Amino acid sequence: MKLTLSVIKADVGSIGGHICPSKALVDTVKSYIRDHGRGLIIDHHIATIGDDVHILMTHTHGDLNSKVHELAWNAFFAGTETAKGQGLYGAGQDLLKNAFSGNVRGLGPACAEITCTERPNESFVLFAADKTEPGAYNLPLYLSFADPMHCAGFMLSPPMFKGFTFRIMDCDHVDGDRTIDLHAPEDLYGIATLLRDNSRYVVEGIYSRYNGEKAAAVSTSRLRLIAGKYTGKDDPVCLVRVQGNFPSVGEVTEPYAIAHYVAGTMRGSHNSVMMPVKTGSTMTYFDGPTQVCAQAFSVHDGRLTEAIDMFDHPVWDVVRNRASEKFIELRRQGFSGPAMLGIHELEYGGVVEKLKELDERFKVTKEDEGTRKSKAQKVKAEAGEDAD
Ligand code: F6R
Ligand code: MG
Ligand code: MG
């Protein structure tokens, strides 16, 4: 059967700041989907990471289906009402428009979708990250889908020998979707050249070159560009099909052991470390470190199994400890240099006002004409030229 996996996530309110949604909020979203999804979606799974709620839905209506997207939008809307009733912080934060139209793209919630022919043993992993941007998945996806140092399938599994096509989006382009298809392995250096810039170029999808099947999808929304002002980081979701002609589940989780540096955490304006955590984790230290959870599923005729929490295993404790050390170390230098993001990526407009105010207090001191001329003559004389 043709199956669509849709994951739509939003931050519509959280307890004590941007920590985690309340149980009542999550229950509202769950019961909305349960009560209104009948006849439209086949199955669903709802979970949280940090202050975000993600709704995974299976159905047969294809990508960007307006009814499916509206269902998620309305569920988040209902969750917002609960959030308001409880005085939660940032109630409705990611619902940037008042009314739903067409699909959730450009309206605030993040969305990743894959439509495929369901394999008899279809398996996939849902990643959800909090306090970071979509480009945070660039490195792990590159390593899983292009690097035999991390994915043994490129040497051992013939359907993978042809490699994968990376569809990369220029997220700074706002007038339509600007994308490029690059093919691993021959375009590896081009892929790396784009993917090193997490804030601008983001893997939108990955396709098998063996059969054209879509292997991965990432949400590519940039809230700052939609709203024109700070509304929170994009907190991206990602779907990855695994096994068979694709990397194995272990090959797609292994790169997260790097705990790589990404943008995010406090006020969306710092560099951080990507920490693999259990689903539903909260964060209480400098709104960080950035965290990512991973849930593995099998699916048959659109029916999901229970989720397996991929980072809930002792091996990830070691990674978490190292990630904590890396992040605390980075935080020791506060605002200085690479601890914070560059000016264009700072998520709060305040810095512009501050710089304007300081700009007026700068003084320019110029040398008088005589000193300037005698210096110039000295330089010319040293270069063996005639003095004026
Ligand atoms: C990061 C994030 C938080 C907030 C911070 C201040 O994405 O959401 O770091 O930026 O807690 O929040 P406000 O500005 O809402 O007081
Ligand atoms: Mg969040
Ligand atoms: Mg948030």
Q: What is the pLDDT of residues 247-273, one digit of tens each?
A: 999 999 999 999 999 999 999 999 999
**Confidence band (pLDDT; 50, 70, 90) for 114?**
very high
Residue 231: the pLDDT is: 65
Question: According to the model, what pLDDT value does residue 175 have?
Answer: 84
Mean pLDDT of 324-353: 92
Task: Answer whether residue 354 is part of any domain.
Answer: no
Question: To the nearest whole number, what is the mean pLDDT of the chain?
Answer: 95
* CB of 102 sitting under 6 A from ligand 1: no
Structure tokens at 76: 């988040």
Asked whether residue 372 carries a pLDDT value surpassing 90, the answer given is no
Among 133, 229, 267, 291, which is best to mutate for testing ligand 1, by the most ligand atoms less than 8 A from CB? 267
248 in any annotated domain: yes
Whether 232 lines ligand 1, by a CB cut-off of 6 Å, is: yes
200-248: pLDDT as tens digits? 999 999 999 999 999 999 999 877 677 666 666 689 999 999 999 999 9
255 lines ligand 1 (CB under 6 A): no
Q: Is 17 in the pocket of ligand 1 (CB under 6 A)?
A: yes
Active site residue 230: yes
Residue pair 31/72 in contact by the 8 Å Cβ criterion: no
The pLDDT of residue 202 is 97
Strands 275-276 and 291-300: parallel
61 DSSP assignment: S
Atom 12 of ligand 1, nearest CA residue: 267
In a domain, 263, yes or no: yes
Number of structural domains found in the chain: 1
Q: Which among 131, 214, 233, 326 is annotated as catalytic?
A: 233
| 270 Cβ below 6 A of ligand 1 | no
9, 11, 130, 235: the active-site residue: 11
Burial of residue 338 (number of CB atoms within 10 Å: 0-12, 13-18, 19+): exposed
Of 147, 162, 230, 278, which one is the catalytic site residue? 230
Per-residue CA distances from 305 to 117, 146, 335 (Å): 18, 29, 45
Between 333 and 98, whose confidence is greater? 333
Angle (CA) 178 60 62, round 5°: 15
pTM: 0.94
For ligand 1, atom 10, the nearest C-alpha belongs to 267
In angstroms, what is the span from residue 220 Cα to ligand 2's centroid?
15
Q: Which of 287, 331, 348 to mutate to test the pocket of ligand 1 (most atoms within 8 A of CB)?
A: 287
Assigned token pair, 386: 């005639």
**pLDDT bracket for residue 346 (50, 70, 90):** confident
Question: Closest Cα to residue 234, out of 372, 104, 355?
Answer: 104
What is the distance between the alpha carbons of residues 12 and 28, in angstroms, rounded to a whole number?
Answer: 12
Is 346 or 322 the better-scoring residue by pLDDT?
A: 322
Residue 170 scores a pLDDT above 60: yes
Query: Which one-letter amino acid corresponds to residue 255?
Result: P
What is d(CA 128, CA 291) in angstroms, rounded to the nearest whole number? 8
The minimum-distance atom of ligand 1 relative to the CA of 131 is 7
Instruction: Tell me the per-residue pLDDT of 36-49, one tens digit each, with 9 for 90 and over.
Output: 999 999 999 999 99
User: In the predicted model, is pLDDT for residue 14 greater than 60?
Assistant: yes
Using an 8 Å Cβ cutoff, are 339 and 273 in contact?
no
Ranges assigned E (strand) in the chain: 2-10, 43-49, 52-59, 110-117, 123-130, 164-170, 179-183, 201-208, 214-218, 237-241, 261-264, 270-273, 275-276, 291-300, 303-304, 308-309
Q: Is 11 a catalytic residue?
A: yes
Percent of the chain with pLDDT strictly greater than 90: 85
Which among 167, 142, 166 has a CA at the least distance from the CA of 251? 142
The neighbourhood of ligand 2, an ion, using CB within 5 A, equals: 11, 50-52, 130, 235
Name residue 16's amino acid. G
In a domain, 377, yes or no: no
Give the confidence band of 382 by pLDDT, cuts at 50, 70, 90. confident
Average pLDDT over residues 100-105: 93
Q: Who surrounds ion ligand 3 at CB < 5 A?
A: 11, 18, 51, 232
13 phi-psi bin (left φ>0, alpha ψ -120 to 50, beta other): left
How far does CA 378 lie from the centroid of its chain? 57
Q: Helix, strand, or coil here: 268?
A: helix
pLDDT in the model for residue 368: 87
288 lines ligand 1 (CB under 6 A): no
pLDDT at 81: 98
**Which pLDDT does position 380 carry in this prediction?**
87
Q: Which residues pair with 271 in a beta bridge?
A: 263
Residue 131 has a pLDDT of: 97
Residue among 325, 304, 268, 287 at smallest CA distance from 133:
268
Between the alpha carbon of residue 367 and those of residues 364, 370, 374, the distances in Å are 10, 8, 11
Question: Per the domain annotation, does 367 fall within a domain?
Answer: no
Quickly list H helices, the chain. Answer: 23-36, 66-86, 138-146, 153-156, 188-195, 223-227, 249-253, 314-331, 350-359, 369-382
235 counts as catalytic: no
Distance of CA 82 to the CA centre of its chain: 26
Domain extent for 159: 2-345
Residue 9 lies in a domain: yes
Asked whether residue 372 is domain-assigned, the answer is no
- Cβ contacts of residue 230 below 8 Å, gap of 6+? 224, 267, 268, 347, 348, 349
pLDDT level of residue 379 (50, 70, 90 thresholds)? confident
Answer yes or no: is 26 within a domain: yes
CA dist., res. 65 & res. 49, Å (int): 25
Q: Which helix H or strand E contains 266, and what residues bound it?
A: none
User: What is the rounded CA–CA span in Å between residue 209 and residue 271?
Assistant: 35
